[in-house]
Amino acid sequence: MQQVNEIDTLIKLLAKIPGLGPRSARRAALYLISNSDQILQPLSQAMQMAWQNVKNCQFCGNLDVQDPCYICSDPRRDETIICVVEGVSDLWALERTASYQGRYHILGGVLSPLDGRGPEELNIDVLVKRASDSKVTEVVLATSATVDGKTTGHYITDCLTNCSVSISELAQGIPLGGELDFMDEGTLIAALKDRRVT
């Protein structure tokens, strides 16, 4: 079957989306094409706009259409506390709890010797710079409860030894191996509230 055309390209690209394999990608492509005016056209426009306008915040690494992002530029947010997370989805998870009023710092992953991801690939230098600011008094480590997440937490703690900040981590309640994005909001609120100084 000769099918190297726009449809084939669409299927191939959709299949790269996490959670979609080739089969789901074919179904999605067919759905999009069958609903061209209602879904495909507005979706392609929304994607174009996202591609043009969404950027990383220079301070925390969050994604937004403005830089600094809406959290870093919000004067009501507590600038004395920085919560360190692996990715934007973790920030979203914590924001959904509406119980954290500080700022964030996105690492862009965790240290992973097996995947060859070292400290230089993570957004750690900027964190140390931010934590050196005299206004900052606490850094909350909210990396996931995996071996790599914990290793990353210890590494960051070492990097922050010369900063006069207290370092805390999310309380137990986050199950071992747990990623924030999969936690229910009640668990996250409790983990934030009962965070302990390391």
- Work out the number of other CB atoms within 10 angstroms of the CB of residue 8: 13
Position 57 contacts Zn ion (CB under 5 A): yes
Q: Min. distance of Cβ 134 from Zn ion in angstroms?
A: 19
Between 72 and 136, whose beta carbon lies closer to Zn ion? 72
Q: Min. distance of Cβ 19 from Zn ion in angstroms?
A: 27
CA of residue 20 relative to chain centroid, distance? 20
Task: Kindly tell me which residue out of 11, 14, 25, 62 binds Zn ion, with binding defined by CB under 5 A.
Answer: 62
Buried/exposed code over 160-193 (b: 16+ C-beta within 10 A; e: otherwise): beebebebbbbeebbeeebbbbebeeebbbbbbe
Stretch that binds Zn ion, among 49-57, 106-114, 140-148, 159-167 (CB under 5 A): 49-57
Long-range Cβ contact pairs of 9-18 (< 8 A, separation 24 or more): none
x/- map, 70-89, Zn ion, by CB under 5 A: --x-----------------
Using CB under 5 A as the binding criterion, the count of chain residues that bind Zn ion stands at: 6
Name the residue among 119, 99, 55 with its Cα closest to residue 187: 99
Using CB under 5 A as the criterion, which residues of the chain lie in contact with Zn ion when the complex forms? Answer: 57, 59-60, 62, 69, 72
